[in-house]
Amino acid sequence: MLILGEKEVEANAVGVRARKEGDIGQMNFDDFVNKIQEEIDSKKI
């Protein structure tokens, strides 16, 4: 789940919560995209 509020927009970031891991915290948007792409490429999701 992504959390996107005023604070995240100002920081060019997203708040990330994973189903199994819980609250991961704030992550730079580009880092989030790279992380998800790696998971897709490795078929983790």
pLDDT at 45: 60
pLDDT at 13: 95
Task: Tokens 């199994």: give the residue.
Answer: 20
**pLDDT by 10-residue block (mean), the chain, 45 residues:** 91 91 92 92 78
pLDDT at 18: 86
Length of the chain: 45
- With b meaning 16 or more CB within 10 Å and e meaning fewer, what string describes 3-38? eeeeebeeeebbbbeeeeeeeeeebeeeebeeeeee
Which domain range does residue 13 map to?
2-41
CA distances from 31 to 21, 23, 39, 43 (A): 18, 16, 12, 18
Number of domain units in the chain: 1
